[in-house]
Amino acid sequence: MSLARLPPRRFSVPLSSSGVLPAAMFALFAAVPVIAAAVAQSYLIDLATRTMIFAIAAIALDLLVGYAGLISFGHAAFIGIGAYAVGILSAHHVADALIALPAAVGGCVLFAAATGSICLRTKGAYFIMMTLAFGQMAFFIASSLAPYGGDNGLSIAGRNTVAGLALLRSDRVFYYVVLACLGVTFLVCRSLVDSRFGRVLRGAQQNPIRMATIGFKIRRFQLVAYVICGAFGGLSGFLLANSTEFVSPAYMSWQRSGELMVMVILGGLGTLSGAMIGTAVFLFAEEWLSDLTENWKVIFGPLLVLVVLFARGGIIGLWSRLSPSVHDG
């Protein structure tokens, strides 16, 4: 069975319309600062920034879960490691992004390579539990770092400079830097999905025995996907630390990993645009419902159950059935 004959992605798209949804979403994100200024609601910029940062992590997680079939409940560890790289360097008066960003991404790559090589020796529920265990290990290590705040977290003096220039100190500039990072993440992941590498991942998800028989070293491909997922998680953590100017062990808790999984499922597994939509819906719903009650998850939980039961394939799946002519990118 050749790779060219592998089944297409879950929502196959005509070339002419494959970029409509992502283009619309990026255009909307680009317009948020203008909209916020027009309606005098500056908090919209902060909310959209947070949404894009977590969308980067969600897209990477969707690459791992939706296309490789590897369910991870330790993805938030990468966000935390990336954020702590920024915080720890800042505590030692190293505040340049040209140092902090490679440190954040590089630390996550090393952690992903080390833990992924162990986790991928298992399958199914055992893989899930291994990722959860390593995620919690990172959480407790961060909690024990007394010189860097321990359980209380660590405040950062200010956003990173870029080659000594305080470019990121401007909220508007930082917003569009985050938007650019989201665009790069989406394009890289979509290129991987459409490449031979992506076909191998999907083939291994559907029939690993047949793919191994063809001659592919499945575990190697999965490990590379896991490391890529970790690298983008580190990028997300780097941006999150600069956005909040604070790092905390809570960034890498299993609850955060669960929320990232909810974002991916809500938008639609195996649809990169769905990861962005799911993140936006989750965070905007959190913002709105939390104004109504502090127990907002009691309301959001049943809504998620309804989506899972009646919107197969998440929001993207529902949209595809209601509007057959418009599909995911």
* Banded pLDDT at 316 (limits 50, 70, 90): confident
What mean pLDDT comes out for the span 308-328? 67
pLDDT digits (tens, 9 = 90+) for 171-220: 889 999 999 999 999 999 999 999 999 899 998 888 888 888 888 888 89
Give the pLDDT confidence score for residue 127 in this predicted structure: 93
pLDDT digits (tens, 9 = 90+) for 10-41: 444 333 335 788 888 999 999 999 888 888 77
Of 207, 183, 181, 175, the C-alpha closest to 272 is 183
Is residue 272 within 8 A of residue 190, CB to CB? The reply is yes
Give the pLDDT confidence score for residue 12 in this predicted structure: 40
Is residue 313 within 8 A of residue 10, CB to CB? The reply is yes
Give the pLDDT confidence score for residue 167 in this predicted structure: 87
pLDDT digits (tens, 9 = 90+) for 246-255: 999 999 989 8
Question: How far, in Å, CA of 236 to CA of 262, rounded?
Answer: 17
SS3 content of the chain, % helix, strand, coil (to 5): 75, 0, 20
Give the pLDDT confidence score for residue 323 in this predicted structure: 65
Give the pLDDT confidence score for residue 22 in this predicted structure: 86
User: What pTM was estimated for this model as a whole?
Assistant: 0.88
What's the mean per-residue pLDDT of the chain?
Answer: 86
What mean pLDDT comes out for the span 37-64? 90
Give the pLDDT confidence score for residue 208 in this predicted structure: 81
Position 325 pLDDT exceeds 80: no
Is residue 148 within 8 A of residue 155, CB to CB? The reply is no
Q: Which residue has the higher pLDDT, 214 or 234?
A: 234
Position 104 pLDDT exceeds 90: yes
Three-state DSSP class for residue 155: strand
Cα distances (angstroms) measured from residue 272 to each of 230, 263, 297 = 16, 11, 25
| Crossing angle (nearest 10°) for helices 314-322 and 254-267 | 10
Helix (H) or strand (E) holding 213, with range, is helix 208-214
> Among the listed ranges 156-160, 277-281, 289-293, which one has the minimum average pLDDT value?
289-293
What mean pLDDT comes out for the span 319-329? 58
Question: How far, in Å, CA of 172 to CA of 45, rounded?
Answer: 9
Position 235 pLDDT exceeds 80: yes
Q: Could you give the dihedral angle defined by the CA atoms of residues 24, 181, 226 and 154, in that order, rounded to the nearest 10 degrees?
A: -130
Question: How far, in Å, CA of 57 to CA of 285, rounded?
Answer: 19
Sign of CA dihedral 34, 39, 40, 44: negative
Is residue 138 within 8 A of residue 81, CB to CB? The reply is yes
Of 142, 140, 118, 139, the C-alpha closest to 129 is 118
**154 DSSP β-pair partners:** 247
